[in-house]
Chain A
Amino acid sequence: MNKIITAALLIFLGSSAFALTPQEQGLAIAIEGDKRGEGYEDSKVNLKMVLIDKKGRESARDMRVKGLEGVGEEGDKSLMIFDTPRDQKGVAMLTFTHKAKSDDQWLFLPALKRVKKISSRNKSGPFVGSEFAFEDISSQEVEKYTYKYLRDETLDGMDCFVLERIPTDKYSGYTKQISWIDKAEYRALKVEYYDRKKTLLKTLLNKDFKQYLDKYWRPALSEMVNHQTGKSTRLIYEDYSFQVGLKGKEFTKNSLKRAK
């Protein structure tokens, strides 16, 4: 069975190397996944974040996210604009993801009318009180992890690669992640996050995938469950649009104040 997969993979990747190590195999899968997401240029989506505590009490906030695909060695850029709660309406966060170093982030506070830079270590903390850390939702550049192919498994009837990836950033909150990537479309269906003491912390399930522009798959629902606190967070994505003509100058520190 393994041989068949390896063989298939070799043909698939057009690689000439004979026996791939699990590390090479894992990297190859990650690269392929990244490749399939390439070329979207830019995107817009409305995002509803629902926080659910141990007792099932919910609280929600709305935001919009604009993304700009990185060119060449540049990472992706994103702009997140908060619509609710009322007191945080108009807060905008700009992120430059980098392949080799820590991301840069700025936050515009309308009440203060100023842009503030955010410490680069922040990305492992809970994002606005949710069970997502910023590193979970930011652009998943290939270079941010080392990989290892573990095994094949079916998940919800789909054939998947099971991949281990270890963050390269020392400020990451995780020691490793295990992800289930379906073989047909290279979508991350499920991710398990292991904390600094190597115990299972959270599980992410991406659901209701839809294909846009006949190419790009995006989940309509991402659900993160924290096993240690019993809390969970749902991200509901609505009205995805791609290639709407966003420009690089809309993603600068100065443009933050005008972000709407």
Chain B
Amino acid sequence: MLERLTWMLVRHPWSVLLVTLLFVGVSGYGAKNITLNADYRAYFSHDNPHLTAFEDLQDQYNKVDNILIAIVPEDGQVFTPRVLSMVEAMTEEAWQVPYSRRVDSLTNFQFTRSEEDDLLVSNLFEDAQLLSVDDIESGKNVALVDPVLAGNLVAFNGKATGLNLTINLPGIDPAKEVPEVVGYVRDMVAKYEETHPDIGFYLTGVVMTNSAFPEASEQDVQKLYPVMILVILVLLFFSLKGLWGTLATFSIVIFSGVCAMGLFGWPGVSVTPTTLAAPVMIMTLAIADCIHILMSYYQGIARGLHKKNAMVESIRVNFQPVMLTSLTTAIGFLTLNFSDSPPFHDLGNIVCIGVLAAFGFAMLYLPAIMMLLPSKKISDEFAQSSKMQFISDFVIKQRTKLLVGMSTIIIILLALIPQNKLDDNTIEYFDWSIKFRSDSEKISETLTGIMSINYSLSGGGEMNVADPKYLATIDAFAEFLRSQPEVRHVNSFSDVMKRLNKNMNGDDESFYRIPDNRELAAQYILLYELSLPYGLDITNQVNGDKSATRMMVQLDKISSAEVIALDGRAVQWLKDNAPVHMLTEGASTNVMFSHITERNIKSMIGGLVGALFLISFIIMIAIKSVRLGLISLVPNLVPTGMGFGLWAIFDGQVGLSLSVVMGVTLGIVVDDTIHFLSKYVRAKREMNLSSEAAVEYAFNNVGVALSSTTLVLCAGFLVLTLSPFALNAEMGLMSALTIALALLVDFFFLPPLLLWLDKDKVGSEPRSQDNKELPEANKLSATL
């Protein structure tokens, strides 16, 4: 059946070529529907509790999507008429930014004071160009001690200031809205940069984070894809040692990537940089299929077979292993659907489509296209390598030492796994080549904390924010937070109330405290609300029915674990010191990302266990042995564990993408085991060889192929490390590491393990028993 099909293909190569091109064209056309996602929320499932909590908070108050523009004069002088008037002009202009809801700056800060018994509310600096030295000095004195401004919109040392734009994205089409806002702000800033070359401008904030994702995506495509293509060509040329095979394989690699992205893109999807790692992976995986088939084909030609016969023979020999490995790889990638983070679903599904497409192309299109290309005689390059004989001899001779030594190494590395710390930081997702990263770091250094947590503190009823007890509690909570080393700035409504109380009492410093009367506080709030100008209301801090306020906490750049720990201490403080209705957990993008890896690992485990069962079952069928199938679990599982152990030594920070590496590599790692075990089993069963001789046979038959595919796979995944997007870079590095370790385990641990556990018994009873155990499986694999 298969042979007949292959014969048909090799006889009608032009038709096959035409059909293939048509298929690739039609499916690939869907890629035009793909847009670049510009919303960090893409990384969270809809029912993620931390996302829900954060959205709920944003519904209650105003949104906190923002852009922070830091303004850092070279000479460290912010409080000059020139700089202040520039800030004033920028503040005014920033109201024109699309979707802006609010602009806060040093100049439009609503400074309240008492004058002739009236509450005067005005901009802290107005018409700065005309201000006297004394005016500026008194404004500066206010700014550097005001709890709202200092450490937030003006640096404690007064050497930098900032403009915070609150942006209310409609969220209908983030792929358009985010670049629109960011483009506008960058143009605006560029204008000021030109007129003020001695002032540095830096941008960060939620909207800038959103914008960094598509920017990283673009860089990925521009940087990774060309390198990937070059790497493929070089690898192919060296492993196939010929131009025509290289070209044929290259076309398959490209077709597979195009098909997968195209088919995935047809419904119209938006992709994150994570998704864009898919083509690189597909291209890498597609090469392996082709190498197996072409190597057998060339060997056939070298033996003197005709092109067509050689191809038919090659397909016959390779169909089952290539199908098996494609299947297990696809299963491995499908486990990414268990991830809590949707972009990994896309990644897994695209690669799955790509792997299956590559299998189809390798089986149907490759035989045909090779007929159209000149064949060349291959020398004994493809004959068995003497190096493999050497390794084989070494492994068999030193089996006990290897077994003990490798076991020790494996156990040590596995023991090191818990040393890894979970860490996700949206800022560190991007490397320094992305401006968002360097700008954010600069802002952290000069102005304020670039991470944040919000606490929505309920007073338990309408207008209860005016309750002196409530105000005293949030004030103490703010003080507690300020005493934490990671905390840079706390914005608490209690500060507003203290200031108002002072103002209403003739600016008497001794009244800088919480008003002791509820009605008084409520009426101060009313007066204050009625005194604030356009856009600078208190709805970002106090909710609609005045039953709760929001505390905004700016943090240093800290790790996920530190965010979770800080939040834990804050929650504990509330438990100890606040009434039950005030109990809440922190909510912010940073909190969301801090929990994402842990959630992701938990959600992945089920999928991985399932996939492992399925894959082990497939292996048992393929090699027709339950016992060997169980043994295969070791080389399938151990490499990932060793990888994480090594990671603990050299890096130790495990982020979102590493939590899916097992899914990515499982199906690939299994391939080595399948190839090795199937040859081993064939030697024992069909040739009746001893275990020792079977190991030697396996080495000589698949050793070279395994080494070269491992080389190809490692090279392909290492291309991802060039990505400016850390999630891709780390995923690539860890996958390459795992795949390399898999070869190490398959060469130096699996054989000694087999020689130990699969000892030759007297007679051939065990083997025949094995055969009897799986009669169904026999039939199944025979039909494959």
Interface residues of A (CB under 8 A from B): 51, 53-55, 57, 59, 82, 85-88, 91, 93, 105, 107, 109-112, 114, 116-119, 121-122, 124-129, 133-134, 171-173, 196-197, 199, 228-229, 231
Contact = CB atoms under 8 A, between A and B. Distances in A.
B544 A53 contact: yes
* Most chain A beta carbons < 10 A, residue from B101, B117, B530: B530
Interface in B529-561: 529-537, 539, 542-546
B168 interface: yes
B116 to A, nearest CB: 9
Given A51-B545, A118-B527, A171 B533 contact: yes
Given A111-B522, A196-B96, 16 more contacts: A53-B60, A85-B462, A85-B463, A107-B527, A111-B520, A112-B504, A116-B118, A122-B530, A125-B536, A125-B537, A129-B537, A129-B546, A196-B534, A228-B168, A229-B62, A229-B101
B519 interface: yes
A110 B531 CA distance: 18
Contacts of B532: 122, 125
B269 interface: no
B423 to A, nearest CB: 34
B522 A87 contact: yes
B523 A109 contact: yes
A81 to B, nearest CB: 13
A197 B100 contact: yes
Contacts of A172: 534
22 contacts: A55-B59, A57-B544, A85-B546, A87-B463, A88-B522, A88-B526, A91-B526, A105-B530, A107-B526, A109-B520, A110-B519, A111-B522, A118-B531, A119-B121, A124-B533, A126-B529, A126-B537, A129-B539, A129-B546, A196-B96, A197-B98, A199-B98
A128 B529 contact: yes
A117 B119 CA distance: 7
Contact of B466 (A87, A93, A110, A196): A87
A134 to B, nearest CB: 8
Contacts of B118: 116-117
Contacts of B518: 87
Contact of A228 (B101, B462, B466): B101
B96 A197 contact: yes
B517 interface: yes
Nearest to A57: B544
A110 B523 contact: yes
* Most chain A beta carbons < 10 A, residue from B59, B117, B466, B521: B59
Nearest to A196: B95
Interface in B47-82: 59-60, 62
A60 to B, nearest CB: 9
Contacts of B546: 85, 129
Contacts of A85: 462-463, 522, 546
B97 interface: yes
B544 A129 contact: yes
B122 interface: yes
A-B pairs, 7 with minimum CB distance: A87-B522, A59-B545, A124-B534, A111-B519, A173-B534, A111-B520, A109-B523
Interface residues on B, range: 35 or more
Contacts of B774: none
Contacts of B119: 116, 118-119
B148 interface: no
B120 interface: yes
A126 B531 contact: no
B534 to A, nearest CB: 4
A111 B168 contact: no
Contacts of A173: 534-535
A59 B517 contact: no
A132 to B, nearest CB: 12
A51 B168 contact: no
A229 B168 contact: yes
A170 to B, nearest CB: 11
Interface string B127-168: 000000000000000000000000000000000000000001
A53 B56 CA distance: 11
B92 to A, nearest CB: 9
Contacts of A55: 59
B57 to A, nearest CB: 12
A114 B544 contact: no
Contacts of A82: 526
* Most chain A beta carbons < 10 A, residue from B97, B121, B466, B523: B523
B524 to A, nearest CB: 8
B161 to A, nearest CB: 22
Contact of B59 (A53, A107, A114, A197): A53
B484 to A, nearest CB: 32
A107 B530 contact: yes
Contacts of B536: 125
B734 to A, nearest CB: 42
Given A53-B59, A53-B544, A129 B529 contact: yes
A189 B60 CA distance: 30
Contact of B530 (A54, A118, A196): A118
A119 B119 CA distance: 8
A126 B531 CA distance: 10
Contact of B544 (A59, A88, A109, A125): A59
A116 B527 contact: yes
A231 B544 contact: yes
Nearest to B96: A197
A105 B531 CA distance: 10
Given A88-B523, A91-B523, A197-B100, A127 B530 contact: yes
A21 to B, nearest CB: 29
A81 B96 CA distance: 36
B608 to A, nearest CB: 38
B170 to A, nearest CB: 8
Contacts of A53: 59-60, 543-544
A85 B522 CA distance: 9
Contact of B531 (A87, A119, A197): A119
B117 A114 contact: yes
A93 to B, nearest CB: 7
Given A116-B118, A128-B526, A197 B97 contact: yes
Contacts of A109: 520, 523-524, 526-527
